[in-house]
C-alpha cells in the first residue's frame, strides 16, 4: 500500500514539474504555488515579446517599434483601433499623440483610468503613411489580437473606426451605420464608434463628439459605470 502511495506521489510531482516547465505556475488546490495570475502575466509578456520581434509581414521592415498594446490584462473593457500611427511607432505605445490624448479623456469621462482598460490595434506595426492595413497584413497579424482577447476576456470591446469594426463584424458596412448599438463577437459585446483621430481631424463638427459620447454611455451602462 505504502509503495503504491509513494508511486502516486512521485507521479503527481512529475506532472507538476511538467506543468511548471510549460510556464503554468498555479494548479488549483496547490497552495504552495503562486497565484494563477502569474502564469497569465507570463503568457501575456511572452506574447508581447513575440509581437515586438515579429517579422510575419512586410510592415516589419518599415517599423521603428511594433506596438503590442497597453493596459490591464484583466480589463472588462478593451479599445481596438486599426494600427499604430507615427507617434505610436516612435514610442512603441498605442494611442499617443493628439488622438491618444482624446481617447484618454474619453476613458476618464467614462469613469475608468487608462491603466484599467486595455488598448490595442488590429495590426501591431505602422502601415506607411498611415494608410489602412491591407488584408494580407491583417491576416498575418490577427492571431495576436485573438490571443490578447482570449487572455483578457473583456466584457465589451469598443472598436474605433471602420477597420476594427469591419474586422470583428465581418462586414463591409461603414462605421456610420454600425456605431451606436451593440453587436456580438464570440459572446463579447462590440460597440463600434468613431476613431479619435477622425474627431481630431473634424474638430469643428461637435456632433461627432456627441455621438461618441452617446455610444460610450451605453458601454458605461453595461459595465455598471452609470
Which residues form the interface with ligand SF4 (CB under 6 A)? 51, 54-57, 59-60, 66, 123-125, 137, 140-141
**Grid cell digits, residue 179:** 456605431
Which residues, in sequence order, are bridge partners of residue 167? none
Q: CB of 44: closest distance to ligand SF4 in angstroms?
A: 15
Distance between CA atoms of 100 and 199, rounded to whole angstroms?
11
Q: CB of 154: closest distance to ligand SF4 in angstroms?
A: 21
**Whose Cβ is closer to ligand SF4: residue 138's or residue 160's?**
138
Q: CB of 173: closest distance to ligand SF4 in angstroms?
A: 25
**Whose Cβ is closer to ligand SF4: residue 125's or residue 157's?**
125
**Whose Cβ is closer to ligand SF4: residue 77's or residue 78's?**
78
**Whose Cβ is closer to ligand SF4: residue 125's or residue 190's?**
125
**Residue keyed to cell 455598471:** 224
Q: CB of 119: closest distance to ligand SF4 in angstroms?
A: 16
**Whose Cβ is closer to ligand SF4: residue 84's or residue 161's?**
84
**Whose Cβ is closer to ligand SF4: residue 21's or residue 61's?**
61
Q: CB of 55: closest distance to ligand SF4 in angstroms?
A: 6
Distance between CA atoms of 65 and 126, rounded to whole angstroms?
8
Q: CB of 95: closest distance to ligand SF4 in angstroms?
A: 17
Amino acid at each position: 500500500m505504502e509503495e503504491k502511495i509513494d508511486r502516486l506521489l512521485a507521479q503527481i510531482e512529475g506532472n507538476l514539474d511538467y506543468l511548471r516547465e510549460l510556464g503554468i505556475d498555479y494548479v488549483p488546490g496547490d497552495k504552495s504555488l503562486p497565484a494563477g495570475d502569474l502564469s497569465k502575466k507570463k503568457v501575456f509578456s511572452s506574447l508581447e515579446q513575440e509581437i515586438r520581434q515579429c517579422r510575419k509581414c512586410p510592415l516589419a521592415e518599415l517599423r521603428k517599434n511594433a506596438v503590442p498594446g497597453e493596459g490591464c490584462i484583466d480589463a472588462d473593457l478593451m479599445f481596438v483601433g486599426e494600427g499604430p500611427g507615427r507617434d505610436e511607432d516612435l514610442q512603441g505605445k498605442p494611442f499617443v499623440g493628439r488622438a491618444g490624448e482624446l481617447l484618454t479623456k474619453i476613458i476618464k469621462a467614462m469613469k475608468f483610468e487608462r491603466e484599467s482598460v486595455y488598448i490595442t490595434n488590429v495590426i501591431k506595426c505602422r502601415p506607411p503613411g498611415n494608410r489602412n492595413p491591407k488584408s494580407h497584413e491583417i491576416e498575418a497579424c490577427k492571431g495576436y489580437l485573438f490571443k490578447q482577447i482570449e487572455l483578457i476576456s473583456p466584457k465589451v470591446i469598443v472598436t474605433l473606426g471602420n477597420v476594427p469594426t469591419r474586422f470583428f463584424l465581418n462586414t463591409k458596412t461603414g462605421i456610420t451605420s454600425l456605431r451606436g448599438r451593440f453587436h456580438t463577437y464570440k459572446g463579447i459585446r462590440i460597440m463600434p464608434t468613431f476613431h479619435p483621430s477622425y474627431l481630431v481631424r473634424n474638430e469643428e463638427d461637435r456632433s461627432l463628439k456627441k455621438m461618441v459620447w452617446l455610444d460610450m454611455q451605453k458601454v458605461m451602462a453595461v459595465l455598471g459605470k452609470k
